[in-house]
Amino acid sequence: DARVTQTPRHKVTEMGQEVTMRCQPILGHNTVFWYRQTMMQGLELLAYFRNRAPLDDSGMPKDRFSAEMPDATLATLKIQPSEPRDSAVYFCASAQTGDEQYFGPGTRLTVT
Amino acid sequence: GQQLNQSPQSMFIQEGEDVSMNCTSSSIFNTWLWYKQDPGEGPVLLIALYKAGELTSNGRLTAQFGITRKDSFLNISASIPSDVGIYFCAGRASGTYKYIFGTGTRLKVLA
């Protein structure tokens, strides 16, 4: 049963701390997306990669957020330093051709 | 960021009733996806549509790609309590892998 996995599922941290979220895309999928979901803004695309190369990160606050794909089985989203307004659920999704995206279970981040 | 308009925002229906919701855009899309999200979980892909006018079913769910390519529709027949959740549409234009998501339709089914 192929699924996107994300770790951690929940993270509570203090303002100013670094947060790293990890995603393992479905094996064979070459496009990976990072989204943020909040009640106010809904699902927002932060960044996406194709064949491990970043294609678009215009949705991401550049000063504190960074996204990478060290290899085909791992995508990371880092926030440094974290702020209370970063509290949200962060989703990773993967796709084989860029069409049918499959989402992971999300990381619920709370920054106090 | 840009979002698609989904209607209705929320609805209460009786078990057994049919449900209809739609999604509209000011832009033309090449692909429409429909997702369902349960509390505490990620969105689950229900149906994918690739051609204007296309009608695709998945069990009790049927979705249509509008002929104008600016809208899409999802119908659920004979609703059951487990249909409760938030339904999202997502559209993608040509030349990009980026999807724009709808604002969601929250469905509550009364037994």
Q: Is the pLDDT of residue A13 over 90?
A: yes
Q: What is the pLDDT of residues A68-106, one digit of tens each?
A: 999 999 999 999 999 999 999 999 999 987 678 999 999
Mean pLDDT in residue range A11-24: 98
Between A40 and A16, the higher pLDDT residue: A16
Cβ of B88 and A43 within 8 Å? yes
For chain B, give the mean pLDDT: 93
- For residue B95, the model assigns a pLDDT of 85
State chain B's maximal CA–CA distance in angstroms.
45
- For residue B47, the model assigns a pLDDT of 97
- Cα end-to-end distance, chain A, whole Å: 36
Dist. CA B101–CA B92, nearest whole Å:
9
- Kindly state whether A103 is in contact with chain B, defined as any CB-CB distance less than 8 angstroms: yes
- Cα end-to-end distance, chain B, whole Å: 37
Mean pLDDT in residue range B48-71: 96
Closest CA to B47 of B84, B16, B21, B82: B21
**Percent of chain B whose predicted confidence (pLDDT) is above 70:** 98
Q: Is the pLDDT of residue A35 over 80?
A: yes
CA distances from A67 to A104, B41, B87, B100 (A): 16, 22, 28, 20
Confidence of residue B107 (pLDDT cuts 50, 70, 90): very high
- For residue B1, the model assigns a pLDDT of 56
Count CA atoms closer than 13 A to A56's CA, side-chain side: 16
- For residue A98, the model assigns a pLDDT of 61
- Kindly state whether B76 is in contact with chain A, defined as any CB-CB distance less than 8 angstroms: no
Mutate to test the interface with B, among A96, A99, A102, A109 (most CBs of B within 10 A): A99
- For residue A3, the model assigns a pLDDT of 94
- Kindly state whether A98 is in contact with chain B, defined as any CB-CB distance less than 8 angstroms: yes
Between B3 and A89, the higher pLDDT residue: A89
CB B93 within 8 A of CB B28: yes
- For residue B2, the model assigns a pLDDT of 67
Confidence of residue B70 (pLDDT cuts 50, 70, 90): very high
User: Is omega for the bond preceding B81 within 30 degrees of 0, making it cis?
Assistant: no
Q: Left, alpha or beta for A16 (phi > 0: left; psi -120 to 50: alpha)?
A: left
**Percent of chain A whose predicted confidence (pLDDT) is above 70:** 98
- For residue A2, the model assigns a pLDDT of 85
State chain A's maximal CA–CA distance in angstroms.
38
User: Is omega for the bond preceding A84 within 30 degrees of 0, making it cis?
Assistant: no
User: Is omega for the bond preceding A81 within 30 degrees of 0, making it cis?
Assistant: yes
B-chain residue closest to A59, CA distance: B1
- Residue B10 burial by Cβ neighbours in a 10 Å radius (0-12, 13-18, 19+): exposed
Q: Is the pLDDT of residue A1 over 80?
A: no
Dist. CA B35–CA A15, nearest whole Å:
33
